[in-house]
Structure 1
Amino acid sequence: MIEEKRVGAEPVPHNLSELLTELQRTSLRRIENFGWQIKFIRRPRFQPPVVVVENTTGMNIGILEEDGGVNLRPAISLRD
């Protein structure tokens, strides 16, 4: 059985601007024009946050990298 780690943590926190770099914020505004949005943010201890974005259909995901790039082939495992 997988232990739930996100107890009490929202998928997209209210302090979003504090977690994103300036380049990520700029890129997010740009990709939102194409229907992409933040799905959730992983916040591993002692590491930068991992920003996961998805398209409008929810069929494609990507990682919004610290430099503002979008990695459409992320090496990330998602739960169902």
Structure 2
Amino acid sequence: MYGRERRQRQDPDTATLRAGLTPAQLHALATLEQFGWTLRFVRRPLFRDPVPVVFQRDGRRFVVLEADGTLNEAPDLVIRD
């Protein structure tokens, strides 16, 4: 039983992921998607703005979309495999 992966890999609902993002974030996301980037998940910390995390096509590089639509290329996130 130990060692078995319990998390289920599902494709997230894009409308659910985009809910709560600012217009600037949505605009920047649309531009990034034209270049092959995908919104993989959104962290929603309590009492803080959502933190959308966008991955490059190969999945090795990621950025965070700030509330004003700018990219944070050096976020302080730890991504687990």
> Is this a same-fold pair by TM over 0.5?
yes
Unaligned runs of 5+ in 1: 1-9
Q: Provide runs of 4+ in structure 1 moved above 4 Å.
A: 10-13
For the pair shown, which has the larger CA radius of gyration, 1 or 2?
2
- TM-score scaled by length of structure 2: 0.77
SS at match of 1:57: coil
Moved more, 11-20 or 49-58: 11-20
% identity of equivalent residues: 39
Count of residue correspondences:
72
Segments of structure 2 that go 5 or more residues without pairing to the other structure are 1-10
Instruction: Give the AA of the match of 2:15.
Output: H
Is it true that 1:53 corresponds to 2:54 in the alignment?
yes
Q: Deviations over 1:5-41 (max 9, x none)?
A: xxxxx85563344311000011001111111111100
Q: RMSD value over aligned CA atoms?
A: 2.0
After TM superposition, the score normalised by the length of structure 1 is: 0.78
